[in-house]
Amino acid sequence: MSVRVAVLGAAGYTGGEVLRLLLAHPAVEVVQATSGQFAGKRLDFPHPHLRGVGTLRYTPHDALEPCDVLVSCLPQGELINRWQKVSRLAERVVDLSADFRLDASGHARWYGKHPRPEDVPAFVYGLPEWMGDALTNARHVAIPGCMAHAGLLALLPLLHAGLVRPDVLVVDAKTGSSGGGSTPDRSSHHPERANALRCYKPVGHRHTGELEGVVARVTGQQPTIHFSATAVPGVRGILATVHAFAARPVDEPEVVRAIATRYREKPFVRLLRPSASLSPFPEPGPLLGTNHCDLSVDVDPERGRVVVNAAIDNLVKGAAGTAVHALNLMLGRPETEGLGFRGLHPL
């Protein structure tokens, strides 16, 4: 019997990717999709890539009905306000916003006082490559932020292996315009954004708190992470460049071994080698539409600097794909189920 899934807030970019993946998932039936703007319209009305996939129509958020799994794509702050009602309608919930990613104190620092702090501990942080055991049979999952996600996949193996110092870590993330969502403002409007190359958040980005909190939780070390976000031309994709400093003398083969060992059994993380590809540097283009993360390693032994680049599609690996990955683990399904798309080249 198929698992009955509803998607709350399905008309945005992330919601469209969740629908694309779930509508093709062999173990899932999408029974409801909600939208505050497009109630009564077919799913493909805001999502041209979903033309011909069925006759399901959007319903208002308040018309949400009971289901087995609820995937929420509502903007940050909206699921919290609906939680008391929504939590009774689904046995399992996957949230793609920041509402339940941080503990109550971290949320208060970066987003404001959490209105339901008593519910935060019920959520598992949905980073499958590092929280896979906790996701198995979990009831509530909070999917990572897209730029934090790329940074964590690069950082965690280095810290876990004790190769780098936790007190000086730099994450520089470059992101396309779709990371700003489907509702335009002056800075994301196409004439303003199309050729933009600007560091729009040099300091104080909210993903700083997420990065530091998860690193502390996974490694037991309290890190100091310097995070900056840069807008680049292009619609989809993230390239996160991590700069770390060696805790002792290390060379590139040792760092490569640590990362390769950690992700050897992880189907969606790939470590690129210069000798194995004409394209050995991670870039988002070949990953668009996929749930993969590509990594590369460079080491400057003279200065003790370790550089790891991580590339993902922000809307898939950074959001919808990881939601489906987590859902597979929650349901005891094969973790790659419904996530087999390999990308396109050239674009």
* Residues annotated catalytic, as ranges: 146
> Which amino acid does the sequence have at 295?
L
Assigned CATH topology for domain 147-312:
Dihydrodipicolinate Reductase; domain 2 (3.30.360)
Helical ranges in 7-145 per DSSP H = 13-23, 78-86, 104-110, 128-135
CB-based contacts of 110, cutoff 8 Å, min separation 6? 102, 206, 208, 209, 210
- Gyration radius of the chain's alpha carbons: 20
Predicted local confidence at residue 279, as pLDDT: 84
Predicted local confidence at residue 188, as pLDDT: 66
Q: What is the DSSP string of 144-196?
A: PPHHHHHHHHHHHHHHHTT-EEEEEEEEEEEE-GGGG-SS--TTTSHHHHTT-
Domain chopping of the chain, boundaries: 3-143+319-331, 147-312
Query: What is this structure's pTM?
Result: 0.96
pLDDT by 10s per residue, the chain, length 347: 799 999 999 999 999 999 999 999 999 999 999 999 999 999 999 999 999 998 999 999 999 999 999 999 999 999 999 999 999 999 999 999 999 999 999 999 999 999 999 999 999 999 999 999 999 989 999 999 999 999 999 999 999 999 999 999 999 999 998 877 766 666 666 677 778 889 999 999 999 999 999 999 999 999 999 999 999 988 999 999 999 999 999 999 999 999 999 999 999 999 999 888 888 899 999 999 999 999 999 999 999 999 999 999 999 999 999 999 999 999 999 999 999 999 999 88
DSSP state of 222: -
Q: Report how far residue 283's alpha carbon sits from residue 237's, in angstroms, rounded to the nearest whole number.
A: 8
Predicted local confidence at residue 178, as pLDDT: 86
Is CATH 3.40.50.720 the right assignment for the domain spanning 3-143+319-331? yes
Helix (H), strand (E), coil (C) string for 233-252: CCCCCEEEEEEEEECCCCCH
Q: Report how far residue 32's alpha carbon sits from residue 19's, in angstroms, rounded to the nearest whole number.
A: 10
